[in-house]
Amino acid sequence: MEFVHYNPTRILFGKDQYNGIAEQIKSCTVNNKILLAFGGGSIQSNGIYSKVKEQLTDFEVTDFGGIEANPEFDTLMKAVEIVRNKEIGFVLAVGGGSVIDGVKFICGAVNFDCDPWDVLSRKEGCVFDSALPFGTVLTLPATGSEANSGAVISRSPLKEKRTMGGPYFFAKFSVCDPTVVKTLPKRQIANGIVDSFVHTLEQYITYPSENLLQERQAEAILSTLIEISAAIIENPGDEKLASNLMLCATHALNGNLRCGVPTDWTTHMIGHELTAYYGIDHARTLSIILPRLYENQIDNKREKLVQYGKRVWKLEGDDQELASLAIKKTEVFFQSLGIQTKISDYSKDTSEIADHIKQIFVSRGWLKMGERQAITPEDVHSIVSKAI
C-alpha cells in the first residue's frame, strides 16, 4: 500500500532532557510569552513543575493548570481566551495525553474565528487551518500524543468525546524523560501499557499486509510490553524498564506502524464513547471492548490473530483454537495488570449503553468500520452488549 509519512516532532529522549527546552522554544516561538499548561497538580507534587520552570527564566510565563483527564472543551476555551488576550506566542504542555491533547486544541482554536466546537463536530467547512507552535514535556507514557498530530476533546454536558488533528498539530519538540514513570500511580502505568498495546493491535490485527517489516515492528512493541509489564509496575524506578515503556508508547502511535498496512480503530471509537458516558479511563475502555470486538470479527481477523498468537504469545495448536486463545491471552494480560474488562465492573447503569453507542455510530455515518468495512452499527451493538 502507498503511504505518506510525515512526522516533524523533535524527540528529546532521556534523563534530564529538560535542559534543552529554552533553546527549542526560542527556535520556534513568535515572541517570549509562554503559556505553561498542565493538569490537576501532579507536576507540582512530583517536582516536574519546578524542573521545567527553572528552564524558562528568559520568558514571560503564564501558568494554566486544571486541564482535566479527558480534557474538557469549556476549560480549554478559558485558556484560549488567555492566549488571545496576552498575545502568547508559544504553549508548553506538561502532562499526559490529556494535557497534550488539550494544548493541541488550544493552539488550533486560538486563531479560529467561529465556534471551535464546529471543527470537532465536523460541521461542513469548519477546519483548523493553522496552529500556534507548542512543545510538550511528557509525564505519562501512554497515548503517543507527544509524537503525533491527533487529539481527543470531551464536552461532558453533551456527553461527547470527539477527535481532531491535522498537520499543524505536531509538537515542535517533546521531552520524553523516562524517570517520570517512578512518580506515576500503578493505575496509570497499567493504563499506559494497555493503551500502547491496543494502539499497536489496532494497526496490526487486520488482515495480512505483506508488509513484513511493519508486522515485525508491531510484534516487537507487543512483545516488549509483555516482557516488561509486570516488572515496571513493581519497579517504576527502574530506568531501563521505564525507558522501554516510554519508547513503546511513543513508537506505538507516532505514525510509523500504520505506514503501508490496513488499520482498524473501531475499539478506540467505541471506547471513547464509554469514557464520554461513564468517565472510565481511556485505556480501561479499550480493555473492555477489544476482546469482544475481536470475537465478533474473528473470521475477518483470523489470519492475523493466529500470527499474533504464534509469534507474540508463542501459542501452538490449530488455527481455530489459536485465534480464540490469542484473544483470551490478551484479555488475561489486561487483567494481570489489575484492569477489569467488563462494563459492569465500572457501573451498574448498563441498560441503555449498547443502544446509545449504536445510535452514535449511525448518527455520525459510521456504518461500515474496520479494515474490511465489515463492522456495522448492529455489530457495535452486539460488541457493547457482550462487553457488559
Interface with ligand NZQ (CB under 6 A): 39-42, 46, 69-70, 95-99, 101, 139-140, 142-145, 148, 150-152, 180, 183-184, 188, 191, 195, 253, 268, 282
348-354 long-range contacts (CB < 8 A, ≥24 apart) are: 349/278, 350/388, 353/274, 353/277, 353/384, 353/388, 354/381, 354/382, 354/384, 354/385, 354/388
Q: Sheet holding 173-176: strands in order across? A: 10-13, 173-176, 134-138, 90-95, 33-38, 60-64
Closest to Zn ion by CB, 177 or 202: 202
Helix (H) or strand (E) holding 380: helix 377-387
In the complex, what is the shortest distance from the CB of residue 52 to ligand NZQ, in angstroms, rounded to a whole number?
12
Residue 195, interface with Zn ion (CB under 5 A)? yes
140 contacts 192 by C-beta, under 8 angstroms = yes
Contact segment (CB under 5 A) with Zn ion among 50-58, 119-127, 195-203, 257-265 equals 195-203
90 contacts 132 by C-beta, under 8 angstroms = yes
Residue 273, interface with Zn ion (CB under 5 A)? no
Sequence-ordered list of residues with C-beta below 8 angstroms from that of 289, at least 6 positions apart, any chain = 267, 270, 271, 274, 383, 384, 387
In the complex, what is the shortest distance from the CB of residue 289 to Zn ion, in angstroms, rounded to a whole number?
11
In the complex, what is the shortest distance from the CB of residue 32 to ligand NZQ, in angstroms, rounded to a whole number?
26
Size of the site for Zn ion (CB under 5 A): 1
β strands within the chain, DSSP E? 10-13, 33-38, 60-64, 90-95, 134-138, 150-155, 160-165, 173-176
In the complex, what is the shortest distance from the CB of residue 299 to Zn ion, in angstroms, rounded to a whole number?
25
Q: Quote the CA–CA distance of 196 and 181 in Å, as a whole number.
A: 15
Closest to ligand NZQ by CB, 252 or 306: 252
Closest to ligand NZQ by CB, 280 or 322: 280
Closest to Zn ion by CB, 195 or 281: 195
Give first-to-last CA distance, the chain, whole Å: 37
Out of Zn ion, ligand NZQ, none, what residue 297 binds, judged by CB under 5 to 8 A for its kind, is none
Out of Zn ion, ligand NZQ, none, what residue 151 binds, judged by CB under 5 to 8 A for its kind, is ligand NZQ
User: Which neighbouring-strand residues pair with 138?
Assistant: 95, 176
In the complex, what is the shortest distance from the CB of residue 163 to ligand NZQ, in angstroms, rounded to a whole number?
8
Out of ligand NZQ, Zn ion, none, what residue 152 binds, judged by CB under 5 to 8 A for its kind, is ligand NZQ
Closest to ligand NZQ by CB, 273 or 309: 273
Closest to ligand NZQ by CB, 110 or 253: 253
Binding residues for Zn ion, rule: CB under 5 A, are 195
